[in-house]
Amino acid sequence: MSIAVSLPANDKTEWWCKMLRDLMPDWDIYPINQVPDPDAVTYSVVWRPATGAMTPFRNLKAIVSLGAGIDHVLADKELPQDVPIIRTVGTDLTQRMKEYIALHVLRHHRELPQIQANQVAHLWDQIIVPPAPERRVGIMGLGNLGAAAAQLLAQIGFDVVGWSRSPKTIEGVTTYSGDEAFGAFLEGTEILVCLLPLTESTLGILNADTFNRLRRGACIINAARGSHMVDSDLIDALGSGQISGATLDVFHVEPLPKDHPFWDHPRITVTPHVASMIDAPTGSKIVAKNIRAFEDAGTVADLADAKRGY
Ligand code: NDP
Ligand code: OXD
C-alpha cells in the first residue's frame, strides 16, 4: 500500500508527501525517487511526470493528476496503458479560475492596460467603453471551469457565448457545440477565453484563422494550455490590430524562456501558470478522498477519459 509522489520541484514533492502522510497515516507515501519497493506502489500522484516514470510500478491501480488537465500525464509515451487517471478538481480550483477570468476579462473590457500606459505618460484621456451587455465574451470549453466562468461573467452582465463538444444549457449563456458551430460561436466575440483541455483536436486552436473570425480588436485570454496557441500567429495578429491584447497564463515551454518575445510585448500580459493552482493543504484532501473512494468503489467521479484526452 504505497503511493509515489512526483512533481517537478523536490520541495513541492516533499510538501505534498507531508500533507498526504498526515491525512493517510495507514499508507506509505514516498517521493518517486525514494520508493523502496516499486511493486508495492498502487497509486501515483503526479504533475508532469518524467517519461517512463510510471513504468516501474507494475501494480498501479490509478494515476492521480495533480490538476484538472491530464495532458501532462498522457504526454508520457511510455505510460502504462489502461491505468485509470483521476483528475484533482473541486470548488477551490473553480473559484480561483473564476477570479482569474473575471479579473482579466474586466481588465480588457475596461481598457486598463491603456489607462495604465496613459498614467505613465501623464495623459488624462477619458476612455468610454460600452457597458458589459454590449461586450461579447466567448468561452471555449464549458467544463467545470469554463461553465463556472461563463456563469459568473453572465451575472456581471456580459453577453456571454460558450462552446463545447456536446450541447450545454447554462443560464444566461448562449451555447454552441461541435466543430460545425465554431465559426458562429466566434462571430462577434470581443474577448475570447480558452478553457479547453489540450487534445489532438484542440492543439493550436488559437491560430490566425480563429483570430480572423473574431471582431477586429478582440482580446485573448488563454488560461488552458500553451500548446493551444500558435505563438507566431498571435504576434502577427497583434501587429495587424486584429487582436488588440492578450493575457497568457500558459506556454509551450514553462517556465517561459527568458528570451521569448511574449515577455516584452506591450500588448501581452504574462502570468506564470497561476490562474488556478491547487495548493497541497487543499489538494491533498481531494487526493486522499479520491484514493479512498477508488479503493472502495473502483471508480470516482473525477475519472478522466484517456481515450478522449480529458
Ligand atoms: P473539463 O474536462 O471539465 O471540461 C473541458 C471542456 O472542454 C468541456 O466542456 C468539453 O466539452 C470541452 N471540449 C473538449 N474538447 C473539445 C473540442 N474538441 N471542441 C469543443 N469543446 C471541447 O475541464 P476543466 O474545465 O476542468 O479544465 C479545462 C482545462 O483548463 C484543463 O484541461 C487545463 O488544461 C486547464 N487548466 C488550467 C489551469 C491554470 O492554472 N492555468 C488550472 C486548471 C485547469 P464537453 O463538455 O462536451 O465534453
Ligand atoms: C491544471 C493546471 O490542469 O493547474 O489543473 O494547469
Q: Which of 45, 74, 100, 278 most suits a substitution to test ligand 2, by most atoms within 8 Å of the C-beta?
A: 278
List, for residues 21-65, the tens digit of each pLDDT value. Answer: 999 999 999 999 999 999 999 999 999 999 999 999 999 999 999
Tell me the CA distances in angstroms from 232 to 129, 227, 229, one per residue in order: 29, 12, 9
Beta strands 218-222 and 243-248, pairing class: parallel
pLDDT over 70 percentage in the chain: 100
Compute how many other C-beta atoms are within 10 angstroms of the C-beta atom of residue 6.
23
Ligand 2 atom nearest the C-alpha of 250 is 6
pLDDT for the residue numbered 1: 87
- Does the predicted TM-score (pTM) go above 0.95? yes
Q: What is the DSSP string of 161-207?
A: EEEESS---BTTEEEEESGGGHHHHHTT-SEEEE-----TTTTT-BS
What is the rounded average pLDDT of the residues 106-123? 97
Which residue among 58, 273, 292, 308 is the active-site one? 273
Ligand 2 within 6 A of CB of 141: no
State the pLDDT at residue 97: 98
Predicted local confidence at residue 44, as pLDDT: 98
- Integer Cα distance of 191 and 136 in angstroms: 7
Q: Average pLDDT, stretch 243-262?
A: 98
pLDDT digits (tens, 9 = 90+) for 68-100: 999 999 999 999 999 999 999 999 999 999 999
The Cα–Cα gap between 208 and 187 comes to: 14
**Three cell numbers, residue 212:** 480572423
What per-residue confidence (pLDDT) applies to 171?
96
Determine the Cα angle at 83 with ends 20 and 22, to 5°: 5
The DSSP-derived string for 107-135 is HHHTTHHHHHHHHHTT---------GGGS
